[in-house]
Amino acid sequence: MSDPTMYGDSDDPARGTEHGASHEETAMPPGGWEPADEAQKEQIAEIGEKRQRSRVREGLPWPLGATWDGLGVNFALFSAHATKVELCLFSADGHEERERIELPEYTDEVWHGYLPDARPGTIYGYRVHGPYEPEQGHRFNPNKLLIDPYAKQLVGELQWDDALYGYTIGHEDGDLSFDERDSAPFMPRCRVIDPAFTWGRSREIHIPWDDTVIYETHVRGYTMRHPEVPEMLRGTFSGLGVPAITDYLRRLGISSIELMPIHAFADDRHLQELGLHNYWGYNTLAFFAPHPKYMATDTVNEFKEMVARLHSVGLEVLLDVVYNHTAEGNEMGPTLSHRGIDNATYYRLMPEEPRYYINDTGTGNTLNLSHQRVLQMVTDSLRYWAEEMRVDGFRFDLATILGREPHGFDEGGGFLDACRQDPLLSQCKLIAEPWDCGPGGYQVGGFPPGWAEWNDRFRDTMRRFWKGDEGQLAEFATRLTGSADLFAHRGRKPYASVNFVTAHDGFTLRDLVTYNDKHNEANGEDNNDGHDDNHSWNHGVEGETDDPEIRALRLLQMRNLLTTLLFSQGTPMLLAGDEFARTQAGNNNAYCQDSEIGWVDWDLSAEGQALLAFTQRLIALRRHYPVLHRSRFLTGEYNEELDVRDVSWLTPAGEGMTIEDWEAPESGAIGVLLDGRAQPTGIRQRGSASTLMLLINTHPEEVEFRLPPVDSGEGWCLRLHTAEPERHTLSMFEGDERYAVVGRSLVLLELVRGHESNGPGW
């Protein structure tokens, strides 16, 4: 019988607890590892050598990773070029490497073995032997402890040290040198988990794309300053699941919460040296493991409980995932996992000089999804999060990389095809960030059916339009109606366009109307990082001001931008905190600000509370009126059979727009008539939805609009005016009546019969 402390605590492995979480609760140090006493090491090694041959079994080459089957643990690791793989087992506290076991079998390029006396809580890592030939693309170094690419949980923190590198830093041969120092004292370990979890009454959420409103936020930053989240839970999955948070999200009206990267990631060495941290998390270490710092309970099931709580209030959970690169950087980076397991397979290397990495991501390396095993790892990861963790969809960082084959981006590439044919993944929401920094990397509108895409054309157009830039009217109309020029092909729908005005990368909404220039000095890069072309406008003063006129104008512009976002065809995405005018003090690249700069401030001013109420009203209006989120593109063409035009573009005089009107550089006022009688589906029949009229004026001065004529007994009911956000009294107007729209504002009118209006908010 083996020493029970070798594999975690000595309790009965069949012991059950609430949600089946307790098998993972082995105590771990917060970071760093102490080497064992040398005499103790020798004694343990001798004992281990005597028993390992009789204990280890052949196991199976699948599933990859460490899998608990109720009787033991199967270990399987892919490496096409390794010569030997050693499984390293650690004490329950993770400090001591107790044993190295050579995996006995090699099947289909998978090294595998089975330990019948291992159990959940086992702490492990790998050492992989093979050629160290950087000029041939091979960087094996068994002195480096490696993370299992399929690890379901990491424990401990990465402690930056020169021993983490496969070569000797400072050596005259650079990365061609070979470093013999043991990296284990500085590496996180992997932990075997028991996936058992009682989902109880948790239900699956399937929100139609037409009804989707996405809310992008950060697990840590969203709750760190929230007064109703217990301090011990702030910044964690548990913190996101407390009633104060879930009730707020439900009342806001959004349908889907999109979490910035939650896969275990590394803190960048250069940031630590500056006293900063990788806050955003786009630096993945393990694609199957939740980030350790986001777990208050040190159990993977904490993530599942958060999902269950969000599902219970009707919210989808989407994950922002980073499968385009890893935290190992270029040839001068550390050896943490994939590089030491099979560098030549996992990464795209320069064909003529495989010592160097193809850097289409701008981060030093690019995952090689053209290889079937790398593709398998990524799709296995997605299926794990979708099936085991019950995530509802994914937003893919630098997604062009995922569709990139050796010849360039290919919408029929292996990864994109794999997702569309997979019976599970094809039912998830799949959202691409459709660009990278490689050749031909900008692919907005170029992804295949079944994908939605971030639409930066929408972002830039709406910013320019409301800022008052000339010549934006035609582009504005295209973006408002779902960007048909980009997405109306192959049966794609308007919701394929994920519209946003702000996102994590860039200014917040409040900063967009408060600063002309970025202010990223706190990032330690002399304000040289972040985008310079923001299409922002400070409205007369750079930064915060007490001037009441400027403050009022800024709030009006925020309402205009939010209204345009939520009243446009497509899928709106709202940045967390924009609904109450959150600021980052002008920092438009808060990737390293795990601080009050990056955290959401919940101490709302009166202005913030009013904007929140206005945003709730906008979302409610969007949901109430089907013509604001149609499943068919608006064309403006007259349908003779139904005697209706789905959208009409009108001048302030009430006349149809001409080419001259569209091209006039000073044009900044337009009427948009959305006819609810238009055909709503592929069946040729009239719709029965409400007809709406948008009156839009970006000029600083008032513009008078002539309202469209109506039938007898009908009139136009004022639904919303961005210049009068707190107005809640009914106002009716007759057809052909004149209506003055104040400068820089937007009006929503509904066609009603008499005083029958009963929309939300009245």
**Domain assignment present for 527:** no
* Residue range of the domain that includes 653: 635-752
Q: What is the pLDDT of residue 61?
A: 98
Mean pLDDT of 347-356: 97
Domain-embedded: residue 363: no
Predicted confidence at residue 643, as pLDDT, reads 92
Structure token pair of residue 549: 């006129």
* Per-residue pLDDT, 16: 33
Amino acid sitting at position 520: N
The catalytically annotated residue of 267, 397, 475, 594 is: 397
pLDDT digit string, tens, across residues 642-674: 999 999 999 999 999 999 999 998 889 999 999
In the prediction, which pLDDT does 758 show? 57
Average pLDDT over residues 383-402: 97
Residue 260, Cβ neighbours under 10 Å: how many? Answer: 23
Q: How high is the pLDDT of residue 202?
A: 73
DSSP-derived secondary structure for 287-337:
EEEE-GGG-SSS-THHHHHHHHHHHHTT-EEEEEE--S--TT-STTS--SS
Asked, for residue 114, whether it belongs to a domain, the answer is yes
- Statement: residue 424 has pLDDT above 60: yes
Residue 102 and residue 671: Cα distance in Å, rounded?
73
Is residue 640 predicted with pLDDT exceeding 70?
yes
Secondary structure string (H, E, C) spanning 593-608 = CCCCCCCCCCCCCHHH
Q: What is the largest CA-CA distance in the chain?
A: 98
pLDDT confidence of residue 522: 97
Over residues 61-90, mean pLDDT? 98
Answer whether residue 418 is part of any domain: no
Contact 7, 122 (CB under 8 A): yes
Q: How confident is the model at residue 762 (pLDDT cuts 50, 70, 90)?
A: very low
Q: What is the pLDDT of residue 11?
A: 36
Q: For residue range 134-177, what is the model confidence (pLDDT) as tens digits? A: 999 999 999 999 999 999 999 999 999 999 999 999 999 999 99
Q: What is the pLDDT of residues 240-298, one digit of tens each?
A: 999 999 999 999 999 999 999 999 999 999 999 999 999 999 999 999 999 999 999 99
Rounded to whole angstroms, the Cα distance separating 174 from 167 reads 7
Domain boundary among 175, 192, 209: 192
Each residue's pLDDT tens digit, 111-142: 999 999 999 999 999 999 999 999 999 999 99
Q: Is 397 a catalytic residue?
A: yes
> How much is the average pLDDT of 13-35?
41
pLDDT category of residue 29 using cuts at 50, 70 and 90: very low
Is 307 in contact with 317 (CB distance < 8 Å)?
A: yes
With respect to residue 75, please indicate whether it lies within any of the assigned structural domains: yes
| Interatomic CA distance for residues 662 and 667, integer angstroms | 7
Give the separation between CA 536 and CA 516, rounded to whole angstroms. Answer: 5
* pLDDT at 756 (0 to 100): 59
Predicted confidence at residue 26, as pLDDT, reads 39
Which of 452, 147, 233, 201 lies closest to 312 in space, CA to CA?
201
pLDDT at 760: 58
Q: Work out the average pLDDT over 500-510.
A: 98
Q: What is the pLDDT of residue 60?
A: 98
CA atoms within 13 A on the CB side of 13: 20
The β-bridge partners of 693 are: 673, 749
Please give the pLDDT value at position 39: 61
452-474 pLDDT, tens per residue? 999 999 999 999 999 999 999 99
Taking all residues of the chain, what is their mean pLDDT, rounded to a whole number?
Answer: 92
Cα 400 to Cα 442: distance, rounded to the nearest angstrom: 8
Residue range 211-248, pLDDT digits in tens:
999 999 999 999 999 999 999 999 999 999 999 999 99
Q: Binning pLDDT at 50, 70 and 90, where does residue 45 land? A: low
Helices (H) and strands (E) counted in the chain, each on its own, are 16, 33
pLDDT in tens, 705-739: 999 999 988 999 999 999 999 887 778 999 999 99
Q: Which helix (H) or strand (E) holds 759?
A: none
User: What integer pLDDT is reported at residue 405 of this predicted model?
Assistant: 87
pLDDT of 521 higher than 80: yes
Residue 596 among the catalytic residues: no
Q: Are 495 and 481 in contact (CB under 8 A)?
A: no
Q: What percent of the chain has pLDDT over 90?
A: 87
729: in domain:
yes
* DSSP structure string for 579-639: GGT---TT-S-GGG-TTTTTSPP----HHHHHHHHHHHHHHHHHHH-GGGS-SS-----EE
The candidate with the shortest Cα–Cα distance to 384, out of 150, 110, 75, 123, is 150
pLDDT score of 301 more than 70: yes
Last residue of a domain, one of 170, 192, 214: 192
Q: Would you say 82 and 140 are in contact if contact means Cβ atoms under 8 Å apart?
A: yes
587 has a pLDDT exceeding 70 = yes
Interatomic CA distance for residues 609 and 614, integer angstroms: 9
Following CA atoms 541, 543, 544, 546 in sequence, which dihedral angle do they give, to the nearest 10 degrees? -20
The CA distance from 578 to 248, in Å, is 14
Domain end, chosen from 132, 164, 192, is at 192
- Whether 9 shows a pLDDT value over 80: the answer reads no
Total of domains in the chain = 2
Is 665 domain-assigned?
yes
Q: Is the pLDDT of residue 519 over 90?
A: yes
**CATH number for the domain harbouring residue 168:** 2.60.40.10
79 has a pLDDT exceeding 80:
yes
Of 201, 198, 234, 199, nearest to 218 (Cα)? Answer: 234
Q: In Å, what is the CA distance from 190 to each residue of 24, 124, 193, 431? A: 11, 5, 9, 30
Query: Would you state the pLDDT for residue 310?
Result: 97
CATH number of the domain where residue 696 is located: 2.60.40.1180
Q: Give the active site residue among 9, 433, 579, 750.
A: 433
> What is the band of 20 on the pLDDT scale with cuts at 50, 70, 90?
very low
Is position 77 within any domain?
A: yes
Q: Are 413 and 404 in contact (CB under 8 A)?
A: yes
Q: Please state, in angstroms and rounded to a whole number, the distance separating the CA atoms of residues 9 and 354.
A: 45
